[in-house]
Amino acid sequence: MTENIDNKDVKDVLNEKIPAEKFAFVQENENLHDIELQTKARGFFADAMIRFRKNRSSVIAAYILLFLILYAIFAPMISQYTIDDKDPMYVNYPPFVPETAKYGFINGARNMDSQNEKSMDIWYGIGEETGMNPVIKILGTKEVQEKYRGQWRTRTVYNIKVNMYYALGIVYRNFRYEDYEKLQQWQNETGIQVIYPYVDPQEYPGAAGNPNIWYQVDNASNAKKDKDGNYVPAYMTDESKAGAPYNSIRIKGDDGSWVYSYAKSGSVQCRICYYNFYIYQNGHEPSYLMGTNVMGNDLFSCIGLGARFSLIFAVLVSAINLSIGAVYGAIQGYYGGAIDMTLDRISDILSGVPFVVVTTLFQLHLAQKVGVIPSFLFAFVLTGWIGMAALTRKQFYRFKSQEFVMAARTLGASDWRLMFKHIFPNAIGTIITSCALVIPGVIGSETSMTYLGIVDLSTYAGTTIGTLLSQGNAAATSAPHAILWPSVFLGLLMICFNLFGNGLRDAFNPTTRGVDD
Amino acid sequence: MIKYVLQRILYMFMVFMIITLMCFVLIRMLPPAVLPPDDPHTFQILRRREALGYNEPYLVQFWLFLKNIVTKWDWGVSEKLFFGQNVWDIFVGKLPATMIVNLYSIIWSIPVGIGLGVWAALKKNTWIDYFLSTATMVVISVPSFVYAFLVQYLFCFKLHWFPFLMAGGTNYFSWEMLVSIIPPVLSLSFGVIAGFTRTTRAELTEVLTSEFMLLARTKGLTRAQATVRHALRNCFVVIVPGIFGEFIGILGGSLIIEGIFAVPGVGRLTLDAINGLDYNIFMLSTCFYTAIGLAASLVVDVSYGFIDPRIRMGSKK
């Protein structure tokens, strides 16, 4: 082959003569040695952290997770409400914060469709009497044909946006005499009007017991306005019907003749402005960042409380399952053979029992004796460790035949020492990282069980996310916020835990080292 | 292979019997339901309890329980919810609703899931892949009742596309029923689709990088040919057992979804039995769910062996 190549131009390198003086020593007066390593040695953990940080979605998930955990810890603390603050009137009310409501955000708004003139009169009446106008915005009007006394007539209906907290307006309340005195005292001190003049229902049967009608109405409860279109007050002036003397601030336009209470047997009935009465009772204005649920609880603190329980519970369950699973799997993997098979059969049987059945049976049997939460915990522990055991077993099979184990055994290490001093530390990375994926699983099952009402934790844990969700689901159409916020929280928590766990698992997995880039 | 299958079935049966025994004893240990004093069925039920050996040792009770099932297929009568009615008849009456909802959900979820998975794998490391992978991750993480709420609020309440609850009656193939079934089907599908997308994508990306794929391309197959004939076939080793598992799971249904959309299925029956402490229904549900779980794992295991000749576990025995 080579003979055929015409190699006249190619230098004959092999036979070329280089004169000796052209050669020079590279390191004539130096010691020959290896160059010291300039880079720092990197440990397993630091290496994993670097790889974790490269995974951007996991890092973001970790930060969101941190935020959610901080929320769970601090939200119930900073909130002015506790789980026992249940307002009987503000039930399933939309988010409302008085400070931002002025600017149109979080203003407790709910849309009301097809409000007729009569209702509109009531809405505006509330605004005029209490000074807190519930109508935020008129979204649209519609002409409707309706049959009235055999004739067709046109009627205008309004779609409006209403501030629910103001819209509650005036309610009837019965007070004992001393409470009535106290309320008057408070009114004098703060100058906030809670008690409004009474309207005698016998005088105006058209009001039909609606406390928010304070103006003159006909028998069909249509407002009888004066010629300028203003409301005409219908307050009671008959002093003999008053329940108790009134010596406090009076509303504008009162010449002292209006009566502020109505005599009931042993008590006084009043018309009170609920918003101001709330301030009297609680010492602050209603402020619900996420609205209230069906119990009248503040959702902001309730979600925090539920999340707190979920997180603590999940961490506890994972820790217990991790310990049991690690020991069980270690014994299985280390001894192998008949022991492995027997233990495998046991875990096969346990894993075959459906989780709902386990939870139910534990609740029925143990809840009376050891409490609801411990029996719920037992239900999780009964089958939860099986996955962890399988994982540990696999790791043990991988490591137990390696040389370092043999070396330790030759040196006389006991079985126990071999298992937990020599083999287990090798497997611990995989086991711990899988824990981050176990936690969302536990939270998911816990939420399902409390959602379904199989486990009722409300007396012990205050509330849980699952309970909040099922309460919200009952009123999903009228008060979507009550299910939206727990859903958002739970969804975010699960997504972030899974992303974080996946990132952690990939980072700690030595086989992916250097593969990703 | 047949020997292996038989072994597995026998083993599963033993596991099933042990679980049933455990649950049976635990349920019988609870105080029996208090019966209404002036109901004509009460006397009958008390007589039945006598015959079922409520005062005998638990093992005798279990034996009588099994004997009734084997000889007469008698699972007992409901003592609370459906007073005096045969438990098995109630249960079978609830099965079609569950099955139909799950069947619809699977029938459309599997092709969609696999399709999306294939798409993501073929477009690996493009924005399509990233989007699909992230979406899958998100969908898998979020629990099903959140979807149920979203579907119910958006499609049923805001847009008025579907009715709120599943239509009543047993006419499962009427148009009205079909429309009313869509919300629960949709809520159930999200998870299934995401699961199949994730599995398919993971498997296919692994197979696509293997050497026989390179060979297939080198010998002149087009990309589509190579993918369908070689890569996808290998993926199905993992996907098909998953499909079988899903089909068995049809019977099980979902406690939560059935509750939200008022599907008159077994999941809801089980939940009612738990809340109403109707032990005989609960016993039957327990056996049913256990059997389904075991059967699903059995079918998955065995189908692996049938599909992939490399995994013929125990065949040498």
Paired tokens of A517 = 């880039």
List the domain range (segments joined by +) for residue A354. Answer: 299-512
Interchain contact, B141 vs A440, CB within 8 Å: yes
pLDDT digits (tens, 9 = 90+) for A82-102: 888 888 888 888 888 888 888
B154 touches chain A (CB under 8 A): no
Quick check: A513 pLDDT over 60? Answer: no
B309 falls within a domain: no
Quick check: A514 pLDDT over 70? Answer: no
- Note whether A159 and A217 are same-domain residues: no
A132 falls within a domain: yes
pLDDT-based confidence at A185, cuts 50/70/90? confident
- To the nearest whole Å, the CA of A454 is away from the closest chain B CA by 7
Contact A68, A490 (CB under 8 A): no
Q: Please tell me the distance from the alpha carbon of residue A510 to that of residue A458, in angstroms, as a whole number.
A: 44
- Note whether A312 and A324 are same-domain residues: yes
- Note whether A341 and A414 are same-domain residues: yes
B207 falls within a domain: yes
A368 touches chain B (CB under 8 A): no
Quick check: A428 pLDDT over 70? Answer: yes
A108 touches chain B (CB under 8 A): no
Contact list, A353 vs chain B (CB under 8 Å)? 19, 22-23, 290
Q: Is the dihedral angle over the CA atoms B16, B22, B23, B25 positive or is it negative?
A: positive
pLDDT-based confidence at B253, cuts 50/70/90? low
Interchain contact, A453 vs B142, CB within 8 Å: no
B277 falls within a domain: no
Count of C-beta atoms within a 10 Å radius of residue A128: 14
- Note whether A501 and A459 are same-domain residues: yes
Domain end marker among A254, A282, A310 = A282
- Which chain A residue shows the shortest CA-CA distance from B29? A365
Paired tokens of A424 = 């287990």
Quick check: B38 pLDDT over 70? Answer: yes
List the domain range (segments joined by +) for residue B233. Answer: 95-264
- Note whether A146 and A130 are same-domain residues: yes
- Which chain A residue shows the shortest CA-CA distance from B140? A495
Contact list, A494 vs chain B (CB under 8 Å)? 141-143
Q: Please tell me the distance from the alpha carbon of residue A138 to that of residue A135, in angstroms, as a whole number.
A: 7
- To the nearest whole Å, the CA of A111 is away from the closest chain B CA by 13
B228 falls within a domain: yes
Least confident of A118-122, A447-451, B289-293: A118-122
A289 falls within a domain: no
A427 falls within a domain: yes
A498 touches chain B (CB under 8 A): yes
pLDDT digits (tens, 9 = 90+) for B210-223: 888 888 888 888 88
- Note whether A188 and A271 are same-domain residues: yes
Scanning the structure block, which residue is given the tokens 């008159």? Answer: B264
Q: Report which listed range, A149-153, A407-411, B160-164, is most confident.
A: A407-411
A49 falls within a domain: no
- To the nearest whole Å, the CA of A328 is away from the closest chain B CA by 20
A383 touches chain B (CB under 8 A): no
Cα A161–Cα A167–Cα A173 angle in degrees, nearest 5: 170
What is the share, in percent, of chain B residues with pLDDT greater than 70? 95
- For strands A170-175 and A267-273, give the pairing: antiparallel
- Note whether A160 and A178 are same-domain residues: no
Determine the residue type at A500: F
B222 falls within a domain: yes
pLDDT of residue A6: 53
Quick check: B19 pLDDT over 80? Answer: yes
pLDDT-based confidence at A111, cuts 50/70/90? confident
- Note whether A317 and A265 are same-domain residues: no
From the list B271, B277, B286, the residue facing A354 with the nearest CB is B286
Q: How many domains does chain B have?
A: 1
pLDDT digits (tens, 9 = 90+) for A395-424: 888 888 888 888 888 888 888 888 888 888
CB-based contacts of A404, cutoff 8 Å, min separation 6 = A422
From the list B134, B256, B294, the residue facing A451 with the nearest CB is B256
pLDDT of residue A510: 63
Interface probe with A: pick from B27, B30, B142, most Cβ of A within 10 Å: B142
From the list B141, B152, B274, the residue facing A454 with the nearest CB is B274
Domain at B231, CATH number = 1.10.3720.10
Contact A449, B271 (CB under 8 A): no
Residues 465-484 of A with CB under 8 A from B: 469, 472-473, 476-477, 480, 483-484
What is the share, in percent, of chain B residues with pLDDT greater than 90? 8
B317 falls within a domain: no
Q: Please tell me the distance from the alpha carbon of residue A259 to that of residue A198, in angstroms, as a whole number.
A: 6
Burial class (CB in 10 A: 0-12, 13-18, 19+), A508: buried
- Note whether A147 and A183 are same-domain residues: no
- To the nearest whole Å, the CA of B262 is away from the closest chain A CA by 13
Angle between helices A481-508 and A424-452 (to 10 degrees): 170
From the list B15, B26, B282, the residue facing A352 with the nearest CB is B15
B134 touches chain A (CB under 8 A): yes
- What is the rounded average pLDDT for all residues in chain B? 84
- Note whether A249 and A332 are same-domain residues: no
Contact list, B142 vs chain A (CB under 8 Å)? 490-491, 494-495
Interchain contact, B275 vs A440, CB within 8 Å: no
Quick check: B297 pLDDT over 70? Answer: yes
- To the nearest whole Å, the CA of A357 is away from the closest chain B CA by 6
A365 touches chain B (CB under 8 A): yes
Strand partners, A96: A107, A288
| Eight-state DSSP code of residue A248 | S
Interface probe with A: pick from B10, B125, B129, B146, most Cβ of A within 10 Å: B146
pLDDT digits (tens, 9 = 90+) for A302-346: 899 899 999 999 999 998 998 899 889 989 888 888 988 899 889
pLDDT of residue B313: 53
Selected residue with higher pLDDT from A201 and B185: B185
Q: How far is CA A288 from the centre of its chain?
A: 14
Q: Could you give the ipTM of this predicted complex?
A: 0.85
A31 falls within a domain: no
A471 falls within a domain: yes
Q: Please tell me the distance from the alpha carbon of residue B287 to that of residue B65, in angstroms, as a whole number.
A: 12
pLDDT digits (tens, 9 = 90+) for A6-43: 555 556 667 778 888 888 877 777 777 777 777 777 77
Q: Please tell me the distance from the alpha carbon of residue A416 to that of residue A421, in angstroms, as a whole number.
A: 8
B282 touches chain A (CB under 8 A): yes
Contact list, A364 vs chain B (CB under 8 Å)? 30, 277
pLDDT of residue B317: 37
Quick check: B103 pLDDT over 50? Answer: yes
- Which chain B residue shows the shortest CA-CA distance from A57? B134
pLDDT-based confidence at B312, cuts 50/70/90? low
Q: Please tell me the distance from the alpha carbon of residue A250 to that of residue A259, in angstroms, as a whole number.
A: 10
- Which chain A residue shows the shortest CA-CA distance from B282? A357
Selected residue with higher pLDDT from B113 and B276: B113
- Which chain B residue shows the shortest CA-CA distance from A487? B146
pLDDT of residue B13: 92
- Note whether A175 and A322 are same-domain residues: no
Selected residue with higher pLDDT from B171 and A375: A375
Contact list, B137 vs chain A (CB under 8 Å)? 495, 498-499, 502
Q: How many domains does chain A have?
A: 3
Interchain contact, A473 vs B289, CB within 8 Å: no
- Note whether A188 and A175 are same-domain residues: yes
The size of the A-B interface in CB pairs under 8 A is 95
B312 falls within a domain: no
Selected residue with higher pLDDT from A158 and B254: A158
- To the nearest whole Å, the CA of B221 is away from the closest chain A CA by 29
pLDDT-based confidence at B315, cuts 50/70/90? very low
B59 falls within a domain: no
